[in-house]
Structures are given as C-alpha cells and as structure tokens.
Amino acid sequence: MSARNWASIWKHPLFVAVAGPVLATAILAAIGKLGVAWHWLVGVAGTVWQSLKGPVTVPMWLLLLAGGILVLLLVVLVRSIFPLEVEVTITPPSAAPASLPRVDPLTRLDALETTLLRHLAKADGESLQINDFQMAAQERSQLRIERALEHIEKAGLGEWHRNVATGPRFALNREGRDRVIAKGWA
C-alpha cells in the first residue's frame, strides 16, 4: 500500500466510526482499573503498616531487620567461599623456529577460499552469514562453503561468531585482516 493510501485511510468515515468507540472504550476501561488498583495498593500498605506496628511480643520490624542481617551474612559467606574472580593466564603464541621460513597461508588456499576471503575483505570488517558467501561465490553447496571457511579458520585467517538471533557468522581475525590488506584486497 502506498503512503497516499495510508494517509487517506485515517480520514475514512468507516475507520473513524469504528476506531473512535474502540479507543474511547479502552481509555475508559483503563481509567476504571486505576480505581481498583489504587484501592488494592492502599489496602496492602495499610496491612503492612499494621503488621509493623502491631502489639506483638517481638516487633515485626525487628524480625525483618534480623532476617536482612542473616541474608547479608550468608551472601558474604558464600562470596568468601566461592570468589567471583577468575584467574586468567595469557600465554603468548609460540613463535615459529627461526630456521623454518614462515609460509603465507594465502598461498595454500584454493579458488573458492580465495573468493570467500576477497568477499570478507569487501565486507570491511563485518561478519557474514553462510548465505552471503553462497551468493558471492555463486556456490549452491552450503557444505562446500562451510568446509572452505573451516579451512580459512585453520589457516588462522578467520573465526566463527555464534549468534542466537542470526545464526553462525564468519569474520576475519587480526591475522586475516592484515593479510588481505597486504594483498590489496581491502
């Protein structure tokens, strides 16, 4: 429907005749519920006040205070037994021996993997879904695309990002970004 049709529907007599009473009924029903909610809120507040100041051998506020202190002590005890801090040790990646020349991972890629890397470079840092790669490579087989992306990952040039909403996505990591820039693909 075009914008012109939508603008005219608001002025249509049938719409006004139906929407007006429905809207008025909803507003009046909401206002009627406010009185019930206010009465209930005042009743709850009065009950709480009466129970806090009532003639009891041990005042209710003292019991609540004791319960709060007990909960606080339990939280402190649990945190001292099970600390929230996690010790993380970071080890630098092992460097290749000086006697072996470093092989460029881009030279070990086949044509499909190279096409996927070029498409990642064009994406300019964005993570892409598998169907994006299928369209870019004009490849129908999702299995071949996944295998090529896994090979790129094993070469140390990319990584998977798992997302509940959009599914698995693939993006270049730092090494891959630097390599595609050095190749002039980005």
Residues 57-85 pLDDT 10s: 667 778 789 899 999 999 998 888 877 76
> Domain map of the chain by residue range?
3-79, 105-183
The stretches in the chain having pLDDT less than 70 are: 1-10, 54-58, 85-88, 91-107
* Residues paired with residue 129 on neighbouring β-strands, in sequence order: 169
For the domain made up of 105-183, the CATH class stated in words is mainly alpha
Q: Percent helix, strand and coil across the chain, each rounded to 5?
A: 65, 5, 30
Q: 152, 119 in Cβ contact below 8 A?
A: no
Q: What is the DSSP letter of 160?
A: E
CA atoms within a 13 Å half-sphere pointing along the CA-CB vector of 182:
10
> What's the pLDDT score for residue 69?
95
> What's the pLDDT score for residue 100?
44
**Rounded to whole angstroms, what are the CA distances from 141 to 116, 130, 138, 162?**
14, 10, 9, 21
> What's the pLDDT score for residue 163?
78
